[in-house]
Chains A and B, each alone.
Chain A
Amino acid sequence: MLDDFMMRATLAGVGVAFAAAPLGCFVVWRRMAYFGDATAHAAILGVALSLALQMSIFPGALIVALIMAIAVTLLSGRGYAMDTLLGVLAHSSLAFGLVAVSFLSGIRIDLMAYLFGDILAVSRSDLLVIWGGAALVVALIAWRWSQLLTATLNEELAYASGVDPKREQLILTLSLAVTVAVAIKVVGVLLIAAMLIIPAAAARSLARSPETMAMIAAAIGAFSAIAGLRAAYIFDTPAGPSIVCVTAVLFACFSLTGWQTRRQV
């Protein structure tokens, strides 16, 4: 079954969708959409470094994404507004990454594969990394779910309930770095944020509780991965962007119907 490249691609897409859905909900609730972007852009620098050091992509991307995520957490609230800070870090790390890649003259690399993902080239070992990472993220978020929600609602309320919001923020940040690192191959650096945010945003109008929102987001993400790959196969379009297009269309449909029903009430 895993011999078929389409099967491997589909499994990879679904794996990323499962990790991205609950995490994406927190990204949306906490208004950290650019945080995902910044971490993802930093990962390109990680890809360049891994290639230079001739190690595999995943640990390199993961380490740089982690450093980026922690740097943003530490720097926030020190003079610059969060969006300015993220803009500076995201685009400069992307630029440094692209420049660093150009120095690697000895190795022929297809940078497009990392910017837009190369889901059709997913190997068995990639699948293992993706599902391992996704399982880790989902387990971590499920384990801390109530505490994460409390910290998201209000910092003081969290402290008074014995929850340390800084620790919960760190857990989200780490999960984000892991998700970005495993998703690079599937949708690429430029579209990872889309996989985080769009399914969660699309699920909002259908959900009445935080848990259902995360589950609906996972369903939307998984469906998009399957349908997007099918569409890419039929119309011969790039796979990663096709997946994101399907999510975007679902978002538009659900938002419009949600808006309609709300107007009728």
Chain B
Amino acid sequence: MTLITVENLSVRYGANTVLRHVDMTIEFGEIVTIVGPNGSGKTSLLRAIIGATKPVAGQVSLKPGLKIGYVPQKLHIDPTLPISVERFMRLTNRVSRNQCAEALETAGVPDLLKRQMSQLSGGQFQRVLLARALINRPDVLLLDEATQGLDQPGSAAFYRQIEDVRRETGCAILMISHELHVVMSASDRVICLNGHVCCEGSPAVVASAPEYRALFGTGTGGALALYRHDHDHDHDHCEHSQEAAE
């Protein structure tokens, strides 16, 4: 069962085309990860899926009645805004206090219900965001570098949690990640993005694809490889990254 279909999607900010002719689908219950260098349009793709960015061409179709849970890359709450965890979780969700408490427990942060959002640590904050995204039993969970700012054990625990969620609720997961070792072990499918879909498939297939190697080098574990961009292969994204620079 297809939950999200993206067809021929192009997104432009001013004169800068960040996505062109992107096609992808999310099926029921699968974990899909988007990888790609900075500025490759990963966040723009998620924004287009939730309707925050209007595409210049192509379309995003969601299964009718699809419930989306979303965990943003970074959420800054101004310190002048007093809001408790409970209030935050119930802001747009019609849920009971007990449901909030359960969701927090599932997310591994019980007893935070009465705390102020501004008092949470980075790890607690991300888990509250996850609990909030899960509370309405979404059909698909979108995570935009949700482990940013977490230490390694923290982010490992976060990803274990995501797998548990999928196993328990059957919800599909679409995430952006910079942590290639995690991606390779936890995903059913990987989409390598750089303005367009370079390659996609199972982690093993993608890891051996020449397009992927061109972007990330041959070692998938090395963090340095993430940002290295070899120019020895020919790709039309090289043209538009130059257009963007001009």
Residues of A within 8 A of B (CB): 28-31, 146-147, 149-150, 152-157, 159-163, 200-201, 204, 207-210, 212-213
**Which residues of the partner chain B approach A163 to less than 8 Å between Cβ atoms?**
92
**Which residues of the partner chain A approach B68 to less than 8 Å between Cβ atoms?**
160
* A-B CB contact pairs (8 Å), 19 listed: A28-B78, A29-B78, A29-B80, A149-B91, A150-B92, A154-B75, A154-B76, A156-B46, A156-B52, A156-B72, A156-B144, A159-B50, A159-B51, A159-B52, A163-B92, A208-B116, A209-B84, A209-B87, A210-B87
**Prevailing SS type, chain A contact patch:** helix
Q: How far is the CB of B193 from chain A (nearest CB, A)?
A: 18
**Which residues of the partner chain B approach A155 to less than 8 Å between Cβ atoms?**
52
Q: How far is the CB of A117 from chain B (nearest CB, A)?
A: 26
Q: How far is the CB of B26 from chain A (nearest CB, A)?
A: 15
* B82 adjacent to A146 (CB under 8 Å): no
> Nearest A residue to B68 by beta-carbon distance?
A160
3 closest cross-chain pairs (CB), A and B: A160-B70, A159-B52, A161-B92
Bound CA–CA A212/B76 (angstroms): 21
Report the number of A-B residue pairs with Cβ-Cβ less than 8 Å: 67
**Which residues of the partner chain A approach B116 to less than 8 Å between Cβ atoms?**
208
Bound CA–CA A212/B87 (angstroms): 12
Residues of B within 8 A of A (CB): 46-47, 50-52, 68-70, 72, 75-78, 80-84, 87-88, 91-93, 116, 142, 144
**Which residues of the partner chain B approach A31 to less than 8 Å between Cβ atoms?**
78
**Which residues of the partner chain B approach A160 to less than 8 Å between Cβ atoms?**
50, 68-70, 142
* A204 adjacent to B75 (CB under 8 Å): no
* B70 adjacent to A146 (CB under 8 Å): no
> Nearest A residue to B82 by beta-carbon distance?
A207
Bound CA–CA A163/B83 (angstroms): 19
Bound CA–CA A209/B72 (angstroms): 23
* A156 adjacent to B91 (CB under 8 Å): no
* A156 adjacent to B80 (CB under 8 Å): no
Q: Per a CB cutoff under 8 Å, which of B52, B82, B91 touches A213?
A: B82
Q: Per a CB cutoff under 8 Å, which of B47, B83, B88 touches A156?
A: B47
Centre residue among B69, B75, B77, B83 by max chain A CB count within 10 A: B83
* A209 adjacent to B52 (CB under 8 Å): no
Given A146-B92, A150-B92, A156-B47, is A29 in contact with B142 using a C-beta cutoff of 8 Å? no
Q: How far is the CB of A154 from chain B (nearest CB, A)?
A: 5
Bound CA–CA A56/B84 (angstroms): 45
